[in-house]
Amino acid sequence: MPTFHPSPREGQTMKRSLLASAMGMAFALLATASPAQEAGGAPPRAAADYPAPQTFPKANEKAVAEHLSAARKLAGTDLFPDMAHRCIISPVYPVRVRGIQFDGKITPTRIFDQLYSVGQNAVSAYVLKTSAGLILFDTLDNADEAKTLLVPNMEKLGLDPKQIKYIVITHGHGDHYGGAQWLQQATGAKVIASAIDWEMMEKGPKPGVFKDLPLPKHDMEMKDGDTLTLGDTTIRFYVTPGHTPGTLSAIFPVTDHGQRHVVGFNGGTGGGRDEAGLRASIPSFARWGELTRAAGVDVLIANHPLHAETIEKEELLRHALPGDPNPFIVGTDTYQRYVRIQAECARVQLARLGLSE
Ligand SMILES: [Zn+2]
């Protein structure tokens, strides 16, 4: 175990960084920077210009209250953060989401015997290890992230990127397929998405930063109810519209210290982004609830860390004492409550927009 005394190499680094920060402070003082700038923060602005909550002038306040109340009851205390994020923070205080969901490095973590979390702070990526190679879910924002973050994260966990046989794109937004073309070319893996989201990637309008992303080669389309088997592992896929029209969700088994569990990986926990998406997500989550209940799903993962406190759970897992439960195993009932909260938050948002279900 390392001691608390810095090694000579660390000591040198510390000296250099102290000198650098002293020089930085001197420069900052000469440039009369504000305390916020010295601390690395944004330049100050007038309070009148602070970001404000989103407003909903057409809101049906009674319906908002009823659905928020229902969501809150479903959440209890254990799922309060998930309810708060989907029903309140994301739709009403989106600036807070941008503050937390920034591009950043996180510690890659093996979260089940066969499942590895290899993404970044803003968006997740997972590797499922089978007896005949690896299946990667999502590819981060772009080739640079795939090369600089995802691949080294895999290697830190002892996974060989050359063993990736399939790359699953959970939905056709750039933060999930951005690194796909590079990974496809680097590994020879087949890229999978739903037909609808392939079309969205290839022909749909793309917002700002995703406009010029290179597209992966159109390898495979997964239909609702299709399975993919690699070695000893079978994944069942469902098309679960809402977040995008062709969001792909997956159910697959894993083990935790040899004990079998079933993962429910809904690709659309980002929720409906407009009226059509919100409307579509309500029956879609109801159906996902039935499918995951029938499959005995008791493990919750999501494609953004913020949607399921992934980073916090991984920190706990890496520090788990013998016998501590795996925090990703939420149990079948809690998983169902999580799914119902997603639908209830869509109802809240429709009510905010003055629309009925
Ligand atoms: Zn998305």
List pLDDT tens digits, range 250-264: 999 999 999 999 999
Q: Residues 237, 228: contact at Cβ < 8 Å?
A: yes
- Does the residue 52 lie in any domain? no
CA distance 216 to 37: 41
Residue 30 clears pLDDT 70, i.e. is over it: no
Residue 21 falls inside a structural domain: no
Q: How many CA atoms lie within 13 A of 237 on its CB side?
A: 24
Please tell me the distance between residue 172's alpha carbon and the centre of ligand 1 in angstroms. Answer: 7
**Which residues place a Cβ less than 5 A from the ion ligand 1?**
173, 270
pLDDT band at 24 (very low <50, low <70, confident <90, very high): very low
CA of 24 to the centre of ligand 1 (A): 39
Q: How far is the CA of 177 from the centre of ligand 1 (A)?
A: 10
276 CA distance to ligand 1 centroid (A)? Answer: 15
pLDDT at site 40: 60
Tell me if 56 is assigned to some domain. Answer: no
Per-residue pLDDT band for 44 (boundaries 50, 70, 90) equals confident
Residue 31 lies in a domain: no
Q: Please, is 100 exposed, middle or buried when counting C-beta atoms within 10 Å of its C-beta (0-12, 13-18, 19+)?
A: middle
How does residue 39 score in pLDDT terms, banded at 50, 70 and 90?
A: low
CA of 171 to the centre of ligand 1 (A): 7
Q: 186-207, pLDDT tens digit by residue?
A: 999 999 999 999 999 999 888 7
The Å distance, Cα 355 to ligand 1 centre, comes to 23
| Of 108, 128, 89, 118, residue with least CA distance to 306 | 89
Does 28 reside within a domain?
A: no
Give the pair of three-digit tokens for residue 198.
Answer: 């392939």
Count of the separate structural domains present in the chain: 1
In the reported structure, the alpha carbon of residue 74 is separated from the centroid of ligand 1 by a whole-number distance in angstroms of 25
pLDDT score of 32 more than 50 = no
Report yes or no: 54 and 93 within 8 Å, Cβ to Cβ: yes
Across 58-68, average pLDDT:
98
- Strands 133-137, 164-168: parallel, antiparallel or unpaired by DSSP? parallel
Q: How confident is the model at residue 278 (pLDDT cuts 50, 70, 90)?
A: very high
Distances in whole angstroms, Cα of residue 245 to Cα of each of 163, 205, 211, 239, 304: 31, 14, 19, 8, 18
Rounded to the nearest angstrom, the distance between the alpha carbon of 23 and the centre of ligand 1 is 42
ipTM of the complex: 0.98
Residue 270 CA, ligand 1 centroid: distance in Å: 6
Tokens of 114: 């066969």
- Asked if 313 contacts 283 with a C-beta cutoff of 8 angstroms, the reply is no
Q: How far is the CA of 130 from the centre of ligand 1 (A)?
A: 27
pLDDT over 90 percentage in the chain: 84
CA of 261 to the centre of ligand 1 (A): 27
265 domain-assigned: yes
Please, where are the H alpha helices in the chain?
Answer: 8-30, 35-38, 61-75, 80-83, 90-92, 94-100, 143-145, 151-156, 174-177, 180-187, 195-203, 275-295, 310-318, 332-352
CATH number at residue 128: 3.60.15.10
Ligand 1 geometric centre to CA of 38 (Å): 35
How close is the Cα of 328 to the center of ligand 1, in Å?
22
Q: What pLDDT sits at residue 22?
A: 39
- Contact in structure between 116 and 159 (CB atoms under 8 Å): yes
DSSP 312-337: HHHHHHHTPPTTPPPTTB--HHHHHH
Is 49 within the bounds of a domain? Answer: no
Domain coverage including residue 218: 61-352
Overall average pLDDT of the 107-120 stretch: 98
- Ligand 1 midpoint to CA 174 (Å): 8
pLDDT at 345 over 50: yes
Local confidence band at 17 (pLDDT 50, 70, 90 cut-offs): very low
Does residue 100 form part of some domain? yes
> Residue 18 Cα, ligand 1 centroid: separation in angstroms?
41
Q: How far is the centre of ligand 1, averaged over its atoms, from the C-alpha of 2 (Å)? A: 41
